[in-house]
Amino acid sequence: MATTKEYGLGEFTFPRGWFMIADAQELTDRPLPLRFFGTELVLFRGRTTGRPVLLNAYCAHMGTHLARNTTSFVVRNGTHIEGDAIRCPYHGWRYRADGRCDDIPGLSGPIPKAACVRSWTVHESLGVIWVWHDPERLEPEWPPPEQAEWSDPSWVHWKIDHIGTLPIHGQEVVDNIADRAHFGPIHGMDRIELYENEFEGHTVTQRMAGTHHTLTEATGTLRIDATYHGPGYLLAYMTGAYPTILFIANTPVDDGVTQVWHGLLVKFPQTVTRAEDVAAARAFQEASRVAFAQDFEIWTHKAPALTVLQVACDGPFHLERTWYRQFFNPRARATEPRRRVTWAHRLTPPGN
């Protein structure tokens, strides 16, 4: 495990961007304890608006975790979540969605101004709960994740695969967007017909075409147009056995520890998908998950690549790592790494 400082990424320990924190199906009638960005958090769905609420988890009163309790009568009596607020299971202090305490049982005077916890900017889309993380606590720099195909009934929604937690920094996961050389050894791609990267602002795109052992029919060609939207998630259009949109998310748990998810949105010819289409989509997503697990196994057991001994047949790791640094530094300094990499890098070796 290596830290942000060891990679030399910048001023901030954790990067700026939209990050997945939960599968929306995980939000039931109980608060969900989470840990991301080295911080204990509580996520719950407001009962008045139905919207997700994310707060720092420790009560301002005596440091009680707002979510990690099953025996308090606050929990047992069903008053843990009230409207869009949550009560502390120890003394019943109630915190609104904006993090302000608005009720202290037994208190007749004013509530102290310090009775508050941090509230986070969250968004629900694509079956996912997202958070905007920004060490400067500024408004989101780009829009939250959306995908027009999600509303099209000819596409089968993904069922999120909880891949697991990696003992590596997110840098090593995002390196994949520039890793041309791994497709053959890891994924068994016999021939690569196209490979290029394009860097623009907060996005980096990989375009690749070639044969794939599991995601195409027989010797058919798999075409991928994959884009990281900031450091936290990738959406990729793929044309193989089915038209699909691949989803991969990675979120820092602690400095040098990363949680990862995977999903696949699959299109079928019918205007509205049928039960057999859902079954086929699930099987295809599993094939994609198995392919992604090949990367995950490598990441789990590798040493940190604080520098890359780059050779000519690699993809442009040096550009991708420069692009990645913008998210670990103040916005006022983000333009420099963007300026250095905003161009297309094409690598199509002869004979492939």
Q: Nearest Cα to 284, choosing from 128, 147, 155?
A: 155
Whether the predicted pLDDT of 54 surpasses 60: yes
Where in the chain are the domains? Answer: 17-133, 151-346
What is the pLDDT at residue 349?
46
Residue 305 pLDDT greater than 90, yes or no: yes
Average pLDDT, the chain: 93
- This model's pTM is above 0.85: yes
Read off the pLDDT of each residue in 58-83 and give the average, rounded to a whole number: 97
DSSP state of 191: -
Q: Which residue has the tokens 């205007």?
A: 271
Relative to beta strand 32-36, strand 192-200 is unpaired
Residues 6+ positions from 87 with CB-CB distance below 8 Å: 74, 79, 80, 81, 93, 94, 95
**pLDDT tens string 17-53:** 999 999 999 999 999 999 999 999 999 999 999 999 9
Residue count of the chain: 352
- CA–CA distance, 162 with 187 (Å, rounded to integer): 21
CATH topology of domain 17-133: Rieske Iron-sulfur Protein (2.102.10)
Place of tokens 């700026």: 16
Residue 37 DSSP label: T
Question: Where would I find the H helices in the chain?
Answer: 4-7, 73-76, 170-174, 183-187, 275-301, 317-325, 335-341
**Cα angle: 312, vertex 314, 320; to 5 degrees:** 115
User: What is the pLDDT averaged over residues 95-103?
Assistant: 98
Full DSSP string of 48-81: TT--EEEEESB-TTT--BSSS-SSSHHHHTT-SE
Side chain identity, residue 151: S
Range in 87-96, 142-151, 178-187 with the lowest mean pLDDT: 178-187
SS3 127: coil
331 within 8 A of 141, measured Cβ to Cβ: yes
Q: Count of CB atoms within 10 A of residue 350's CB?
A: 4
**Rounded percentage of the chain residues whose pLDDT exceeds 90:** 84
Q: Could you report the per-residue pLDDT of 214-233, keeping only the tens digit for each?
A: 555 545 778 999 999 999 99
Nearest Cα to 262, choosing from 249, 244, 245?
249
Asked if 69 contacts 89 with a C-beta cutoff of 8 angstroms, the reply is yes
**What is the CATH code of the structural domain delimited by 151-346?**
3.90.380.10
DSSP 335: H
Residue-wise pLDDT tens digits, 168-224: 999 999 999 999 999 989 988 878 889 999 999 999 999 999 876 655 554 577 899
